[in-house]
Amino acid sequence: MNIDHVATLRQARYPSKGGAGASAESMAEPDVIRAAHESELGGAACITAHLREDRRHVVDRDIERLAETVRVKFNLEMAATDEMVGIAEVIRPHMATLVPEGRMEVTTEGGLSVDKQTDRLTAVVARLKASGVSASAFVDPDEQQIAAAAQCGFAWVELHTGPYAHAWFRAGGDIREPRLKQEMHRLVRASEVCRDRGVALNVGHAINYDNVGPVARLDGLQELHIGHAIVARAVYTGLRAAVAQMGEAIGVREGGSVVVAGWEAAGAVKGG
């Protein structure tokens, strides 16, 4: 469960105006710590928060409090900057997922170009590992990027599922549509490369209740990192129920086997 957009809602009313600190007002409702607790009660096995350079939603105090209170896995999303690595060394989350950041983007819009900065990222991964933090790279489902991540020592790769989600929306979930089929097979191939390279597989970005089924069945998948769709549903249902409903969407079972309409015969996912 990515709780960034709980903080986005808070900051819309009580902005901290950037910087590394947070005013007293910016720690008002909704409280991201309570959101993390509700998510745990709903079944979330990992809490993710992205501390951006401009502190547009999550702020430093949030990360400090999450590190103290989260009772499941805590994943810190961050840019590979000296400032953020230093924070991770102090906070020591279970995992740090390195992502690219753009000043004008609403959310992360693409994967990290690991192959263009292997020396620097190798050093960052080594620093994190020395502090007991497992490192993950958020990358596009591209064999070259996965291979570079393995070379740098990343223990995890999180595949960027944005293009798949956009193709799903354009196709209305029709798996016969060529672009959607292409994007799904990109993810399948990338999952195979992760297995061959010995890195653990996560996925995330633009996953919602409608499109989660096929990606949840990728062979070797360890974690799905989902935030906005759950926070959006929670407006109507409450956060605990929204998390539980996503859990049901990830593994809807009928007669003991996962059912994802249309994908059983595709040969592209588990049991296919």
Cα distance between residue 264 and residue 244, in whole Å: 24
> How does pLDDT run across 72-112, given as a tens digit for each residue?
999 999 999 999 999 999 999 999 999 998 555 555 567 99
Q: What is the pLDDT of residue 253?
A: 44
Inter-CA distances, 19 with 15, 16, 51, 56, 118, Å: 11, 8, 11, 9, 29
Alpha carbons 11 and 25: distance in angstroms, whole number: 9
What does the pLDDT read at residue 29? 87
> pLDDT category, 22, cuts 50, 70, 90?
low
Asked: is 4-258 a CATH 3.40.50.720 domain? The reply is no
Tokens of 4: 């960034």
Q: Where are the domains of the chain?
A: 4-258
pLDDT band at 21 (very low <50, low <70, confident <90, very high): low
Q: Which residues are catalytic?
A: 50, 77, 205
CA–CA separation, 115 vs 135, rounded Å?
16
| Average pLDDT rounded to a whole number, residues 34-54 | 96
Cβ neighbours of residue 78 closer than 8 Å, sequence gap 6 or more: 50, 51, 84, 85, 87, 88, 96, 97, 98, 99
DSSP 8-state code for residue 256: T
Q: What is the mean pLDDT of the chain?
A: 89
In sequence order, what are the residues at sequence separation of 6 or more whose Cβ sits closer than 8 angstroms to the Cβ of residue 105? none
Answer yes or no: are the C-beta atoms of 87 and 107 closer than 8 Å: no
Alpha-carbon distance 225 to 128, whole Å?
21
- Residues 213-255 pLDDT 10s: 999 999 999 999 999 999 999 999 999 999 999 999 998 444 4
